[in-house]
Amino acid sequence: MGALDHLSNMFDCGSGSNRKYKKRKQLQTVEIKVKIDCDGCERKVRRSVEGMKGVTSVSVERKQHKLTVVGYVEPHKVLSRVAYRTGKKVELWPYVPYDIVAHPYAQGVYDKKAPAGYVRYVEDPHNQLARASSTEVRYTTAFSDENPAACSIM
């Protein structure tokens, strides 16, 4: 909004004071899991979102069954559009790299269908699994074969 627009709005006695400004959407990356088997499925999924308003780029990874949409869009609108246009079951990308999760092999986190190096994202799998405290780590490394300064009694 330039200086002239501001001055014209200030001195406008009419409808300038009742103007509502739209909130701008932020640039987002939406990752979606959708089953993609062949070139036809890939083309169908890509075309379902290419024409959406606000989409800047679309990429499809067939082996991972992943659709990535970048643009000024809302995730739930992209999900519903892909589901409606393709007739496929879609969900937001449920996987994260396994080194981000505290316990990647806990029940409910490990998923055999996940791509290599990924596990299913879960906030806190069971609360009963906790990271080792510093005192526990100190005691276990005191008797470790990998520690050169470990206790020589063993």
Average pLDDT over residues 112-133: 64
Residue 85 has pLDDT above 80, yes or no: yes
| Band (134; pLDDT cuts 50, 70, 90) | low
User: Pick from 81, 91, 83, 34: which is nearest to 59 by CA?
Assistant: 34
Q: What digits encode the pLDDT tens for the residues 24-55?
A: 778 999 999 999 999 999 999 999 999 899 99
Average pLDDT, rounded, for the chain: 77
pLDDT at 94: 84
Identify the band that residue 127 occupies on the pLDDT scale cut at 50, 70 and 90. very low
Q: What is the mean pLDDT of residues 92-96?
A: 84
| Domain spans in the chain, listed from the N-terminal domain onward | 28-92
Contact by Cβ (8 Å): 52, 66 = no
The pLDDT > 70 percentage for the chain reads: 60
**pLDDT for the residue numbered 99:** 76
Give, in order, the Cα–Cα distances in Å from 11 to each of 2, 3, 54, 111, 137.
15, 12, 34, 63, 71
Residue 17 has pLDDT above 90, yes or no: no
Answering whether pTM is above 0.85, one says no
CATH topology for 28-92?
A: Alpha-Beta Plaits (3.30.70)
- Rounded (5°) CA angle 81-62-37: 80
